Structure 1
Amino acid sequence: MLLTIDQETAYYISVLEKTVNINSGTMNFEGVRRVGDVYITEFEKLGMETQWIDGAAFKRAGHVVARTHGTTGPRLLLIGHLDTVFEPESPFQSLVMVNDSIMKGPGVSDMKGGNVIILMALRALKEANLLHDMQIEVVLTGDEEHSGRPIELSKKALTDGAQRADIALAFENADGNPETLVVSRRGWTGWTLQVSGTPAHSSQVFTDGVGVGAIYEASRILNTFYQELTNEKNLTFNPGVIVGGTTTSYDSEQSQGTAFGKSNVVAQEAKVSGDLRAVSPEQLERAQKIMLRIASNNYPGTTAELTFSRAGYPPLPSTAGNQKLLHLYSTVSEDLGFGPVTAVDPRNAGAADISFTSGLVDMAVDGLGMSGAGAHTIHETGDLSKIPVQAKRAAVLMYRLANLY
């Protein structure tokens, strides 16, 4: 297996180059499909059954699924994604080599490099005559960076795969450090705060008949969120957009709004849009209850409504199974001479597709992908020298799981 990876690295780097140079911003459906076709061809070369799941029902391009039909070992779900944050209008469209090992390009580490590592690990297993006896399903989603709606349909390929699986392995790039692995990811949910006040001449602000206005009340709520919740470990709650005044409008799809008001008029409306990230369902529920209590204890002359989105990402809590899988992976790494691997602080791990396996598999980890830096920016890079390292770790891990699980 190790020899195969060394022999095939140059070829798979060429596959990486090809896919990085295809724009696959989430909303570029044609580009996402073209990248998917490249991977479908590669999976078919490995003798795997492949499927394109059309995304029309959830307003995205779609997903790639590839399967073996063996019976040996645990059922493994391997997770990647086809899309990037760089749409066709982005100035960042093609790769350049910074030096002999650092490739700069859109989606190189997030996560076309991870997809190539999946292919390399599976090729190594095939050359060792192991792949087709194993139970492996690969899901490469086409909307990880901007999920389709309804999210239940958008993520159905993932949740269906997780229900069939025992173990989930995701190939994001963790925190960019190949000596770490993600055993816990914080979930994400959106929230909206809508505040109403009593419009009046500003000379009457704070009077019994007028109260404080919508902007003051929105400020109170946000400040109290900060006062009561900032000491909660691994919890964040970010107000990303606020509009307020006499009249307001806000387009959640475009994340932009307008406001009209005057300095001598008490604000009638304020709206805040934000996100909430928690490391466990229990922490999420606790934070939501506190936020709802704060939003309901209104200043005079105001009312407020706080709502939470149902279309978020669930948390991936650290479980005994996830920790066991980290230990197995670290042992593989040490046995290969690459050193130990430790857990990423969940504060440094954002939401990702692996979270949709939460509670459905015995073990789940993320971060088996390509080392890199600058993800989601025009400075995104990937370290080509780490591709064979990551592929070897993944291949040997899957081999051992098949024989030891």
Structure 2
Amino acid sequence: MIPLAIDDFRVDQMLANTERWVAINSGTRNLLGLRNMADDLANCFAILPGTLSLIDPEPVETVTNSGCIEALDHGQHLHLRVRPDAPVQMLFTGHMDTVYGTDHPFQSARWMENGTFNGPGAADMKGGLAVMLAALEAVEASHLASRIGYEVVINSDEETGSLSSNGLIASAARGKHAAFTYEPALPDGTLAGARGGTGNFSLVVRGRSAHAGRNPEQGRNALVAAADLAVRLAAAATPTLSVNPAKIEGGGPNNVVPDLAILRVNFRPRSGDVIEVARAAIERIAREVEQSHEVRVTPHGSFNRPPKPIDPGAARLFNLVRETGSMLGLDVGWKATGGVCDGNNIAACGVPVVDTMGVRGGAIHSVEEFLIPGSLSERAALSALSILRIAEQGVL
């Protein structure tokens, strides 16, 4: 029986860490804020044994609103490796970035009358990082610590798809028995189970400019072609594939036929085989629009997060977490969700993962985002005891 020497969590330290991290603006594009956040995290996680590094991001390209391909800078990622030769190996991941850039109106935190903590990134997922750190400190204090090795990856670009950290995550996932990611649970503690996938594409449409009054027939309107492209792609949606044409950029003066437009579109496949169907639809519809409007269409993008089903390994891990919750007096359940996170990519590596081991909270990605402070110690206990049970059992 694992001794429950994990009740006396330093809730004050978890709260202090969360409040300090929330005060650092670390929107994905705020490289200075991400640097400050990474440095603070490195100082905090240095309390754990092992080798800690700040890893440079992998190269990422983006399509600008002028239709050009440019390099896109990202912040560094934190990587910690502890006891790589231990018999049981796990992966713990989180992200330091938020959706709130320096120009967003939501910049400061406050305590609400109902006792919740409202702040940018409080639940998603700076509170989750505090939970991860506290749980690992508790594991290190256990007599079972020597049985478990692990890697920690805290990336700087999860909110925009982890394009500069996917390779690091995949490398860290290799050979792991299980993984926890510290996205927030729902306010009632429900975890995310199966997840769909996602893909983001920019389709560059190039036509031919002309005078809108003198010789419009000689032009090829890229904006009209992009609109047709959006309508056709939306019509390709099925019950297992949602398609969201989100934005068209381009155009100019009213008296000029526009020769450039860019369609930004998001796809949400519910299963892996649907990804190939979606890719084929993008290519087919792009060629149809080229022929109909005498333009050139160039797709850029990828399906960067594959769907995450609940396979037998994931089911065993979820059941272990649920049983652990019962030991702590918690009713742990889960349900499918349309959202995505790094748990999708970890699962694609063949590693069972529960990706909502963070705080209870809600209204994420809005000015009403909140954290339930009592969940800090609750979820840290759930993580620590689950990790120790995995260490004790050796297998799921």
Q: What TM-score range do you get, normalising by the shorter chain?
A: 0.7 to 0.9
- Counterpart Cα distance in 1 of 2:334 and 2:33: 36
Contact preservation (8 Å) 1:292, 1:306: no
- Residues 272-322 of structure 1, C-alpha deviations (whole Å, 9 max, x = no match): 222222233321111221233233334755345251414833443443322
1:384 partnered with 2:373: yes
Candidates 276, 284, 292, aligned match of 1:285: 276
Candidates 216, 230, 234, aligned match of 1:226: 234
- Counterpart Cα distance in 2 of 1:277 and 1:358: 17
- Counterpart Cα distance in 1 of 2:77 and 2:46: 16
Q: Which residue of structure 1 lines up, in the alignment, with residue 53 of structure 2? A: 51
Residue 337 to residue 212, structure 1, CA distance change in 2 (3 Å) = same
Q: Which residue of structure 2 lines up, in the alignment, with residue 260 of structure 1? A: 253
Residue 334 to residue 221, structure 1, CA distance change in 2 (3 Å) = same
- Residues 224-247 of structure 1, C-alpha deviations (whole Å, 9 max, x = no match): 333332x323x222212224xxxx
1:119 partnered with 2:133: yes
For structure 1, the residue ranges without an aligned partner over 5 or more in a row are 249-257
Candidates 33, 37, 40, aligned match of 1:38: 40
- State the AA in 2 paired with 1:64: L
What secondary structure, in the 3-state scheme, does the structure 1 residue paired with 2:168 have?
helix
Contact preservation (8 Å) 1:96, 1:105: yes
Contact preservation (8 Å) 2:14, 2:376: no
Q: How does 1:91-102 map to 2 (within 5 A)?
A: 91-99=105-113, 101-102=115-116
Alpha-carbon offset, residue 115 of structure 1 = 0.6
Q: Which residue of structure 1 lines up, in the alignment, with residue 317 of structure 2? A: 325
- State the AA in 2 paired with 1:224: R
What secondary structure, in the 3-state scheme, does the structure 1 residue paired with 2:348 have?
coil
- State the AA in 2 paired with 1:138: V
Candidates 97, 104, 121, aligned match of 1:90: 104
Contact preservation (8 Å) 2:107, 2:119: yes
Q: How does 1:118-267 map to 2 (within 5 A)?
A: 118-146=132-160, 151=163, 154-175=165-186, 177-194=188-205, 196=207, 214-229=222-237, 231-233=238-240, 235-243=241-249, 248=250, 258-262=251-255
Q: How does 1:347-358 map to 2 (within 5 A)?
A: 347=338, 349-350=339-340, 352-358=341-347
- Counterpart Cα distance in 2 of 1:161 and 1:280: 24
- Counterpart Cα distance in 1 of 2:17 and 2:117: 13
- Counterpart Cα distance in 1 of 2:197 and 2:58: 29
Candidates 347, 353, 358, aligned match of 1:364: 353
Q: Which residue of structure 1 lines up, in the alignment, with residue 69 of structure 2? A: none
- Residues 7-55 of structure 1, C-alpha deviations (whole Å, 9 max, x = no match): 4222211111121112222233333233223332332323343222234
1:399 partnered with 2:388: yes
Residue 19 to residue 269, structure 1, CA distance change in 2 (3 Å) = closer
For structure 2, the residue ranges without an aligned partner over 5 or more in a row are 61-72
Q: Which residue of structure 2 lines up, in the alignment, with residue 271 of structure 1? A: 262
Range with greater deviation from structure 2 (191-200 or 25-34): 191-200
Candidates 22, 25, 28, aligned match of 2:27: 25
- Counterpart Cα distance in 1 of 2:318 and 2:213: 60
Contact preservation (8 Å) 2:24, 2:36: yes
- Percent identity between matched residues is 23
Alpha-carbon offset, residue 3 of structure 1 = 4.8
- Counterpart Cα distance in 2 of 1:143 and 1:266: 38
- State the AA in 2 paired with 1:337: G
Range with greater deviation from structure 2 (302-311 or 280-289): 302-311
Residue 228 to residue 79, structure 1, CA distance change in 2 (3 Å) = same
- Counterpart Cα distance in 2 of 1:30 and 1:212: 43
What secondary structure, in the 3-state scheme, does the structure 2 residue paired with 1:384 have?
coil
- Counterpart Cα distance in 1 of 2:274 and 2:133: 37
What secondary structure, in the 3-state scheme, does the structure 2 residue paired with 1:275 have?
strand
Alpha-carbon offset, residue 377 of structure 1 = 2.2
Range with greater deviation from structure 2 (100-109 or 315-324): 315-324
Q: Which residue of structure 2 lines up, in the alignment, with residue 254 of structure 1? A: none
- Counterpart Cα distance in 2 of 1:227 and 1:44: 51
Contact preservation (8 Å) 1:328, 1:397: yes
What secondary structure, in the 3-state scheme, does the structure 1 residue paired with 2:374 have?
helix
- Counterpart Cα distance in 2 of 1:241 and 1:11: 43
Alpha-carbon offset, residue 82 of structure 1 = 1.3
Contact preservation (8 Å) 2:234, 2:245: no
Alpha-carbon offset, residue 170 of structure 1 = 0.7
Range with greater deviation from structure 2 (184-193 or 378-387): 184-193
Residue 24 to residue 271, structure 1, CA distance change in 2 (3 Å) = closer
Contact preservation (8 Å) 1:5, 1:120: no
Residue 285 to residue 191, structure 1, CA distance change in 2 (3 Å) = farther
Residue 56 to residue 316, structure 1, CA distance change in 2 (3 Å) = closer
Alpha-carbon offset, residue 175 of structure 1 = 5.0
Residue 324 to residue 202, structure 1, CA distance change in 2 (3 Å) = farther
- State the AA in 2 paired with 1:182: G
Residue 126 to residue 221, structure 1, CA distance change in 2 (3 Å) = same
State the aligned residue count.
379
Contact preservation (8 Å) 1:197, 1:302: no
Contact preservation (8 Å) 2:196, 2:307: yes
